[in-house]
Amino acid sequence: MQTMDFKFIFLLFSLSFSISSSAISHANFMPRFPSSNIVRPEQLSLSTTNELYRTKYFTQILDHFNYNPPSYKTFQQRYLINDTFWGGAGKNSPIFVYTGNEGDIEWFTQNTGFMFDTAPHFKALLVFIEHRFYGKSIPFGGDKDIAYSNATTLGYLSSTQALADYAPLIIDLKKNISATDSPVVVFGGSYGGMLAAWFRLKYPHVAIGALASSAPILNFENITSPYSFNSIITQDFRSKSENCYKVIKGSWQHIEDTANKPGGLEVLRKSFKICKNYISVSSLESWLHTAYVYTAMTDYPTPSNFLNPLPAYPVKQMCKAIDDEVGANDTLAKLYGAANIYYNSSGSATCFDLEDDSDPHGLGEWTWQACTEMIMPTSGNNKESIFPASEWDYNGRASFCKNLFDIEPRPNWITTEFGGHDIERLLKRFASNIIFFNGLRDPWSGGGVLKNISNTIISIVAEEGAHHVDLRFSSREDPKWLQDVRRREMEIIGKWISQYYHDLAHS
C-alpha cells in the first residue's frame, strides 16, 4: 500500500497519512485513534486465553442494505463475553456492550477496564463486539487477501454497516439467553465512542443509553477547525514548559539543516539511534511527530500500556527530558530523550527501525475508512504550533485515495447520515441518554460535544483528561477528578437503568 512514495504511520480508536517529500508535510498527516504502524521496540501481546472473557462468534450478514443475492453472504463476527457478575435473565440484569473500534477487539477489551470495574455494581453482563474487517471478523471466508484486495470487497467496510452488525447480534444474544427484557447500555471510546453515540441515535429500541468517551462526532465538514487538533497538542506541551515548546517548535528546521550538511544524515542516525537499514529526513520527522501526537493523546495520570508502555504524565516527562540541563546545547540529544519516553520506556531498545510497518493490532484498514467517509480535518498548523505551519489539504487526501483505491471520498456523508451541524438543536429534538466524555488534553476533544445538550444528553469535561481516560481500569493512584468522573458516569447510567425498570414494571 505504499504507492506514490507515501509512507503510512497508523495510530486508535485511531492513522496517519505522512510524508512524501524531503520536507515534513504535516498537511498529509491524519492521526488515527489507536495506534499501529508506528515504530516501536516494545509491543503489547494479545493472549489467546484470558480470564477476562470467553470468545464467541455470530453469523453476520455481509450487506444489510440491499437484497441482491451477494448481500446474503455471511461471515463470522467475533465477540467476547464475561458473565462473572451478571445477575441473570430472571432479574432482567443489564447488558453492557462495547461497540468495537478499528482493530482487534481483544486489545480494546483489555484496555476498557471501566466496564469490568462497574459490572459488579450493576450485576452486568459484558459483551465486546469486534468491528467488521478487523481482528478475526473478516468477511469473504476470513481471507484478508480477498477482503482487503480492492474497493469491491472493501466497500462493505463502513460505519453504517458496522452499526447494523451490532443490532442483530445484540438482539439475537438476548433471545438466546432469554434476556429479552434486560436493558442494554453501549460503551465506546474514540471511534468506538462515535459508534456508541450513533448506535443510540440509530437503534434506540436496542440500547437504552450510550457512554461515548472521547468521541469526536463533530470533527467533520467545517464544524471543527482543522487547526484544533494540533493546537491542543501544542498547548499540552507548552503548558508544561515554554522551553520544551520552543525546542520542539524549532527542531524541524534544525533537523533539516543538519541533514543538509555533509554527513548530516549519519549524524541524525547516530543521535537518534536509528537502525542502519534506512533513514531519511521525512521518516525521522514522522517518527518524532508520531511520538508527540500519541503522547499527548495518552497523557494519563498513571502509567499506561495502551499504545506504548508509558509513565504517568508522559508529556511532563518528555518536557523534563528536553529541559534537562545535561547537554543543554545539544538539541538532538534533547529530542532523542523525549522520543525515548514514548518509544523506549524500558531502555532496552538498541536501535529504532524507521521502516517497521508492523501492525500488531490489525488496524490497517482504517486507511479505507479515512478515504471514504471518515474525512476528519486535523492537519492544520498555525504559526504558534509546535509543528511547521500547514493547511488542511482535502485535495491532497482525495488524490491519495484515488491513487490508492480508485475512489472519491464522501466528506459530507457522516453529517448527512448522523448529523453534526447545529448539534445542540438537532439532538435536543429527539435524542436522549448519551454521555459524552472529553478530556481537554486530548487533541480529539476539539471535535467533541463539550456542553450539555439536555437533561439526558450530558457532557462531562475534564480539564486534565486525555483520550478516553475514563474507560481505563481504575487505580488507587487515580486523581480525585478522575474518580469523580467515573462516579458521575455510574450515577447517570444507574438512573437510565432505574427508569427502564420503572417503565418495564408499568408497561
291 pLDDT above the threshold of 50? yes
* Weakest mean pLDDT among 23-27, 245-249, 294-298: 23-27
How far is residue 209's CA from residue 457's CA, in Å, rounded to a whole number? Answer: 10
State residue 327's pLDDT score: 62
pLDDT confidence tier of residue 71, bands split at 50, 70 and 90: confident
Q: According to the model, what pLDDT value does residue 40 have?
A: 27
Q: Return the exposure string of 203-214: e unless at least 16 CB atoms fall within 10 Å of the residue's CB, then b.
A: beebbbbbbbbb
Question: How does DSSP classify residue 276?
Answer: T
Confidence of residue 307 (pLDDT cuts 50, 70, 90): confident
User: pLDDT digits over 457-479, tens only?
Assistant: 999 999 999 999 999 999 999 99
What residues pair up with 274 in beta bridges, in sequence order? 352
Closest by CA to 134, choosing from 83, 218, 195, is 195
Residue 58 has pLDDT above 80, yes or no: yes
pTM over 0.75: yes
Gyration radius of the chain's alpha carbons? 23
Distance of alpha carbon 417 from alpha carbon 198, whole angstroms? 10
Distance CA 413, CA 378 (A): 18
Comparison of pLDDT for 325 and 317, the residue scoring more: 317
Backbone angles phi and psi of 219, in degrees to 5: -85, 50
- Distance spanning both ends of the chain, measured CA to CA: 55
Find out whether 306 and 111 touch, Cβ atoms under 8 Å.
Answer: yes
Catalytic residue among 104, 165, 442, 470: 442
Q: How far apart are CA 117 and CA 473, in angstroms?
A: 7
Spatial separation of the C-alpha atoms in residues 239 and 397, rounded to whole Å: 32
Tens of pLDDT, residue by residue over 124-183, are 999 999 999 999 999 999 999 999 999 999 999 999 999 999 999 999 999 999 999 999
CA–CA distance, 37 with 21 (Å, rounded to integer) = 19
Closest CA to 471 of 228, 212, 297: 212
pLDDT digits (tens, 9 = 90+) for 218-228: 999 899 999 99
pLDDT tens digits for range 249-287: 999 999 999 999 999 999 999 999 999 888 999 999 999
Write down the pLDDT at residue 46.
39
If you ran DSSP here, which 8-state letter would residue 422 be given? B
Whether 127 and 187 have beta carbons less than 8 Å apart is answered as no
The Cβ-side half-sphere exposure at 477, using a 13 Å CA radius, reads 9
Cell matching residue 452: 450539555
Q: In what order do the strands lie in the sheet with 125-129?
A: 54-61, 74-82, 125-129, 95-99, 184-189, 209-213, 434-439, 457-462
Query: What region, left, alpha or beta, does residue 5 occupy, with left being phi > 0 and alpha being psi -120 to 50 degrees?
Result: left
Closest CA to 285 of 5, 9, 1, 11: 9
Extract long-range pairs of 110-115: CB within 8 Å, 24+ residues apart: 110/46, 110/50, 110/52, 111/306, 111/471, 111/472, 112/187, 112/189, 112/471, 112/472, 113/471, 113/472, 113/473, 113/474, 114/187, 114/470, 114/471, 114/472, 114/473, 114/474, 114/486, 114/489, 115/187, 115/471
Rounded to whole angstroms, how far apart are CA atoms 196 and 110? 18
Closest to 149 (Cα-Cα) out of 133, 136, 162, 164 = 133
pLDDT computed for residue 263 by the predictor: 95
What share of the chain in percent tops pLDDT 90?
83
Among 93, 467, 470, 478, the one annotated catalytic: 467
The chain-wide mean pLDDT, for the chain, equals: 90
Check pLDDT > 60 for residue 23: no
Averaged over 28-51, what is the pLDDT? 39
Active site (annotated) includes residue 442:
yes
- The pLDDT assigned to 345 comes to 87
**Amino acid 36: pLDDT:** 30
Q: What is the dihedral of CA 217, 219, 220, 224, to 10 degrees?
A: 130
Question: For the residues 214-240, what does the mean pLDDT come to?
Answer: 97
For the segment 355-377, what is each residue's pLDDT rounded down to a tens digit?
Answer: 988 888 888 899 999 999 999 99
Which residue in the list 14, 190, 241, 445 is annotated as catalytic?
A: 190
Q: Does residue 209 have a pLDDT over 60?
A: yes
Question: Half-sphere exposure of 130 toward its Cβ, with a 13 Å CA cutoff?
Answer: 29
Q: Please give the grid coordinates belonging to residue 58.
A: 455470530
Alpha-carbon distance of 29 to 289, in angstroms, equals: 9
Pairing relationship of beta strands 74-82 and 125-129 according to DSSP bridges: antiparallel
What 3-state class would DSSP assign to 302? coil
